[in-house]
Chain A
Amino acid sequence: MEGVSKIYHLGRSRTSLRETIAGLFHRTCEQGTVLKALDNLSLRINRGESVGFIGPNGAGKTTLLRLLSGITTPSTGTICTYGRISSLIELGAGFHPDLTGRENIYLNAAILGLKRQEIQRRFDAIVAFSEMEHFLDTPVKRYSSGMYCRLGFSVAAFVDPDILLVDEVLAVGDAAFQAKCLKRMSELRAAGTTIILVTHSLGYLQRLCQRAIFLYQGKIQADGATSEVIQTYMNHPAYRGNLSRVEPDVIRFTSTITGGPVAITSVYFTDRSGNRIEQAHTGMPLNIHIAYTAFEPIADANVEIWLYGLDGSEYATFATMWDGLGPLTLQGRGEIRLQFDALCLMPGGYFVNAAISDLNGLRKYDLHWERHYLIVLGGPIAYGMVYQPHRWIVGEGNGDA
């Protein structure tokens, strides 16, 4: 694609005759806001490449996919594609609620461009993949949303396109099904399918794509090897800007408690040698420091630390009480340090939340919620949900067991 822009006129679509007629008379006064979803973008993706697009919401990622699939056309520039394109922009788009699973498989596959014969050849594979054999003759309106998505993904996954466009749809079904989806995508990639992926999950990105492109405000900010682009992305203000956007979804405590007997004065991170850092590395040592000031001595303190993902999911929780430290006595100014020998978090952005509370954790003396942010970058090569510190032992025993 070359010099591609996409301009949306916000608040200016006229979908009734009245507005248009009114518009004829007021042409001069209202000009509406213009949104450049994509701004003069040029890029080339080669056959068989798998490329991931990342960027904050509204960066233009989905617009790009819609342009590539032909759903909309660019405002400027040229897009050239080779081969059959299948888009997973929304799973099960085109499913009709009143039709059965079987009928919808045929219909959806036809929408994705398969001939009847081709569908028949793949039908069993699609059904087996979706694990929905028993519900084939049930109207899909009786399906759960998980079943719906599973069927949708299964159809799209067996279209065998030359180019597969995927928009944030991998988060379907349970963990086992997700793993299956990833496996199927890897198979397609191995078979030479060009995969273009839009995702917020840096984990998927690392697993599926060699190349990543960071989009921001309709422009390419970085384009290159996935791990490098992820790093650029995580250091970009736009990524940190995500923080404020995530907040409303998370159960919110008051971010700071004032007037308590003790206050957390700062939370910071250091590496093995005690140097202050803002970026940690998977599998490497990390210290989390909590500095406090006790205005009056407390004898029943319990220090808690939570590690949260930006999406609000809880990764790990630690408390001095649980680890058998007993009630802590805090007096004056001081510091508490939580030490990890090998950080198990995978690359991404995390909140480090901290609290000083009473023994049962019910009364918070002070709480810092979503105020401290840790960037984790790649360390040792690792894929999956967590990094498990490990060691290999080779040549032990004689194989009798």
Chain B
Amino acid sequence: MREPGTSSTIPPKVRTIHAWDRGPGLFQALAELYHHRELLAAWTIREIKVRYKQTLLGALWAILQPSILMVLFSLIFTTFIPVSTDGIAYPIFSYTAILPWTFFANAVTFSALSLVNNINLITKTYFPREIIPLAVVAASCFDLLIAAAVFVGMMVYYGVPLYETALLVPVVLLVQVLLTMGIALFVAALNVFYRDVRFIVPLLLQAWMYATPVIYPLSVVPARFRFLYMLNPMTGLIESYRALLLYGKLPPWADLGSATVISLVILWLAYRWFKRVEKNFADLI
């Protein structure tokens, strides 16, 4: 019953597993991931579908979550404790940062649980495990795109022109996705070993948000802390978004550059570690 042509299109795959293997090399791992790209796509679609199945508002949640935060912070920082935002209305000023931050925080939070939530799959089937957290990141990208609709609405409402620098936004987004992937892989694997992670992650994310100029401008940060701020790759990314979208300026290249380097290093280290410990998942989970 083998369909003609089926077996010939799939080259016989030779797989050798040695007990002493320390996990595949980077290129081998990437090749395998590429081989399973359709599973990554299918799993991403599943993530998106499952996330909003049986919720009353469905994908509207993707919009509501950052919007409500934006409204709350606007209330606090325009009425109670006004902050200077260099001439940009506070709501759109903060939303420009809350939007990518929500993407980052959701992707990391959901991926921390992703492997453990799929115990059955990990103990019963084989495929490159990074697909599970990576699909979570991809699904969060989808949410980001939906929530971006609100941003467009706000641009019109607040009369922020569409600068041509906005064309560079995808580059910044790409760096952010790489950073998110790195952190997502790290926390997902770590949570297999230590279930404490799922409690720590939301806490750390909250602290991280306050340590990033999301709800306040970088200009209010005292100069002596600036260096520390630049170690945080999210700072460079968010400052770049604001520069490109709100001020029509080129991004702060030094900050964006260091954010890119840090993101790549984090991703590389996280992926390498993930592939090394991956083989223990089924036994430990």
Which positions in B face A, CB cutoff 8 Å? 1-3, 6-7, 10, 12-19, 21, 36, 38-39, 41-43, 46, 49-50, 53-54, 118, 120-127, 193-196, 279-280, 282-284
- Residue A217 interfacial (CB < 8 Å): no
Determine the chain B residues whose CB is within 8 A of the CB of A71 once the complex forms: 122-126, 282
Contacting pair A162 B46 (CB below 8 A): no
Partner of A94, one of B3, B17, B53, B125: B125
Chain A to chain B contacts (Cβ below 8 Å), 17 pairs: A14-B194, A16-B196, A67-B17, A71-B122, A71-B123, A72-B282, A73-B21, A74-B17, A76-B19, A82-B12, A82-B15, A94-B120, A94-B125, A107-B42, A111-B125, A112-B125, A188-B1
Check A20/B19 contact, CB under 8 A, given A81-B14, A106-B42, A111-B127.
no
B125 touches A15 (CB 8 A): no
| B2–A160 CB distance below 8 A | yes
Q: Which of A5, A96, A110, A188 has the most CB of B within 10 A?
A: A110
Residue of A nearest to B197 (CB): A17
- Whether A243 is near chain B, meaning CB under 8 Å from some CB there, is no
B2 touches A192 (CB 8 A): yes
- 11 extra interface residue pairs, beta carbon distance < 8 Å, beyond A94-B124, A160-B7: A71-B125, A71-B126, A71-B282, A74-B19, A75-B19, A76-B19, A78-B18, A80-B14, A80-B15, A93-B121, A184-B1
Q: With A71-B125, A107-B46, A111-B125 as given contacts, are A16 and B12 in contact (CB-CB < 8 Å)?
A: no
Residues on B with beta carbons closer than 8 Å to the beta carbon of A192: 2
B39 x A110 contact (CB < 8 A): yes
Complex CA gap A81/B2 in Å reads 20
Q: Cβ of A147 < 8 Å from any Cβ of B? A: no
Q: Report the separation of the CA atoms of residues A107 and B118 in the bound assembly, to the nearest whole angstrom.
A: 14
The 3 lowest CB-CB distance pairs between A and B, nearest first, are A93-B124, A110-B42, A70-B126
Tell me which of B17, B121, B125 contacts A73 (CB under 8 A).
B17
Question: When chains A and B are docked, how far (Å) is the Cα of A184 from the Cα of B196?
Answer: 46
**Count of A-B residue pairs with CB < 8 Å:** 133
Contact of A93 with B43 at beta-carbon distance under 8 Å, contacts A103-B49, A115-B38 already known: no
Provide the residues of chain A in CB contact with B43, threshold 8 Å.
Answer: 107, 110
Q: Are B19 and A99 in contact (CB under 8 A)?
A: no
* Contacts A72-B282, A78-B17; A87 near B195 (Cβ below 8 A): no
- Kindly state whether residue A90 has any CB partner on chain B within 8 Å: yes
Residue pair A99, B49 in contact (C-beta under 8 Å): yes
In the complex, whether A56 has a CB less than 8 A from a CB of chain B is no
- Contact across chains for A87 and B125 when beta carbons are under 8 A apart: yes
Residue of B whose beta carbon sits closest to that of A78: B18
Give bound CA distance, A81 to B15, whole Å: 5
A73-B21, A87-B126, A160-B7 in contact; A99/B16 too (CB < 8 A)?
Answer: no
Question: Which chain B residue has the least Cβ–Cβ distance from A70?
Answer: B126
Distance in Å: Cβ of B45 to nearest Cβ of chain A:
8
Check A15 against B42 for contact (C-beta < 8 Å). no
A294: interface (CB < 8 Å): no
B residues near A90, Cβ cutoff 8 Å = 120, 124
Chain A positions 336-367 with a Cβ under 8 Å from a chain B Cβ: none
Interface size class of A (residues with CB under 8 A): 35 or more
| C-alpha spacing A70/B122, complex, angstroms | 10
In angstroms, Cα B16 to Cα A78, docked, is: 7
Residue of B nearest to A89 (CB): B124
Report the separation of the CA atoms of residues A85 and B15 in the bound assembly, to the nearest whole angstrom.
10
A236 on the interface (CB 8 Å rule)?
no
Pairwise interchain contact B39-A16, C-beta atoms closer than 8 A: no
Smallest CB–CB gap between A84 and chain B, Å? 6
Q: How far is the CA of A72 from the CA of B127 in the complex (A)?
A: 11
- Indicate if the CB atoms of B125 and A89 lie closer than 8 Å: yes
Q: Which residues of B contact A106 (CB under 8 A)?
A: 42
Contact B125 A66 (CB under 8 A): no
A58 within 8 A of B: no
A144, CB-defined interface residue at 8 Å: no
Interface membership of A121, Cβ < 8 A = yes
Question: When the two chains form their complex, are residues A94 and B50 in contact, meaning their CB atoms are under 8 A apart?
Answer: no
Contact partner of A79 among B6, B16, B282, CB < 8 A?
A: B16
A1-52 interface (Cβ within 8 A of B): 4-5, 8, 13-18, 20
Q: Which residues of B contact A82 (CB under 8 A)?
A: 12-15
Measured CA separation A64–B16 after assembly (Å): 15
Alpha-carbon distance between A69 and B194 when the two chains are bound, in angstroms: 26
Q: Does A241 contact B (CB under 8 A)?
A: no
Would you give the shortest CB distance from B282 to chain A, in whole angstroms?
A: 5
Q: For the complex, what is the distance from the CA of A122 to the CA of B3, rounded to whole Å?
A: 9
B53 to chain A, nearest CB (A): 4
Q: Cβ of A16 and Cβ of B49 under 8 Å apart?
A: no
Contact B46 A191 (CB under 8 A): no
- Mask: chain A, 92-105; 1 = CB below 8 Å from B; 0 = not: 01101011000100
Whether A69 pairs with B16 at a CB distance below 8 angstroms is: no
Q: From residue B274, how far is it (CB to closest CB) to chain A in Å?
A: 15
Report chain A residues within 8 Å CB of B194: 14-17, 20
Chain A residues closer than 8 Å to B17, beta-carbon distance: 67, 70, 73-74, 78-80
CA distance A20 to B122 in the complex (A): 23
B47 CB → nearest A CB, Å: 10
